[in-house]
């Protein structure tokens, strides 16, 4: 998901047990976003935990809402960006406004969604995958390969704390349901459906 600079909520999802198990088994994300490589599969719980809140607002008000949050933070270093592209679907779709806060490079960890400048100078809001000697590898959840540019202290802009969009991306609920932490796995194998609550951390 590319970005252009511009200056805890709760899910209650009815989830069929057999569908959750089937999706988890084959690694389907919905909306055609599938990836079978081991490293990405291992990072999915971290992505779930670190994924910032997505707020649904009126179309055309995405940046207005993001700007209001940034202004309320009271720090000039908190910025808003307008994102385009499908690399982060189904977590975030194109035309999503994000709020980005500064973060120390030493505080980065797996699963964080950060904004950084790629090798061509464009902003990319992607998920941190692995900490390498020369920097972090990053990747869009809708991509089969990691980005060619490492995230370093020099090109890091900040961590994505909130997102605003006019509609929820297709497949987001399926992604969340399939790759929640294991302590949210349905406890009764014979249950056909269960109402499961997912709490994202507030940032």
CB 163 within 8 A of CB 55: yes
Residue 69, pLDDT above cutoff 70: yes
* 186 domain-assigned: no
More confident residue, 20 or 68: 68
Determine the Cα–Cα distance for residues 104 and 176; give it in Å rounded to an integer.
Answer: 28
* 11 domain-assigned: yes
Based on the structure, what is the number of domains in the chain? 1
* 86 domain-assigned: yes
In this predicted structure, what is the pLDDT of residue 40? Answer: 63
In this predicted structure, what is the pLDDT of residue 113? Answer: 95
**Locus of tokens 């194109």:** 94
Binned at pLDDT 50, 70 and 90, residue 1 comes out as confident
19's CB contacts (< 8 A; 6+ apart) are none
- CATH assignment of the domain containing 112: 2.10.109.10
**Average pLDDT in the 60-70 region?**
96
In this predicted structure, what is the pLDDT of residue 182? Answer: 47
- 163-199 pLDDT, tens digit per residue, is 999 999 988 888 777 766 543 443 333 233 333 333 3
pTM here is: 0.70
* 187 domain-assigned: no
* 151 domain-assigned: yes
Q: What burial class does residue 97 get, using C-beta atoms within 10 Å of its C-beta: 0-12 exposed, 13-18 middle, 19+ buried?
A: buried
Q: What percent of the chain has pLDDT over 90?
A: 52
More confident residue, 24 or 110: 110
**Average pLDDT in the 27-44 region?**
50
Determine the Cα–Cα distance for residues 30 and 124; give it in Å rounded to an integer.
Answer: 22
- 71-117 pLDDT, tens digit per residue, is 999 878 999 999 999 999 998 999 999 999 999 999 999 999 999 99
**Average pLDDT in the 51-76 region?**
92
Look up the domain containing 59 and give its range: 2-181+192-199
* 58 domain-assigned: yes
* 100 domain-assigned: yes
Mean of the per-residue pLDDT values for the chain? 76
């Amino acid at each position: 998901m590319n970005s252009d600079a511009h200056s805890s909520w709760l899910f209650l999802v009815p989830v069929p047990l057999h569908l959750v198990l089937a999706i988890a088994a084959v690694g389907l994300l919905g909306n055609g976003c599938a990836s079978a490589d081991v490293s990405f599969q291992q990072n999915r719980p971290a992505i779930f935990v670190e994924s910032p809140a997505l707020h649904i607002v009126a179309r055309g008000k995405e940046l207005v809402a993001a700007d209001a949050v940034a202004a309320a933070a009271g720090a000039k270093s908190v910025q808003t960006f307008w994102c385009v592209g499908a690399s982060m679907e189904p977590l975030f779709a194109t035309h999503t406004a994000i709020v980005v806060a500064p973060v120390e490079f030493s505080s980065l960890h797996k699963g964080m969604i950060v904004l950084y400048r790629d090798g061509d100078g464009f902003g990319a809001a992607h998920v941190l995958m692995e900490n390498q000697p020369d920097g972090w590898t990053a990747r869009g959840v809708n991509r089969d390969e990691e980005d060619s540019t490492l995230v370093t202290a020099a090109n890091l802009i900040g961590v994505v704390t909130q997102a605003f969009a006019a509609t929820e991306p297709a497949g987001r609920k399926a992604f969340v349901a399939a790759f929640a932490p294991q302590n949210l796995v349905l406890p009764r194998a014979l249950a056909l459906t269960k109402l499961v609550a997912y709490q994202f951390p507030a940032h």
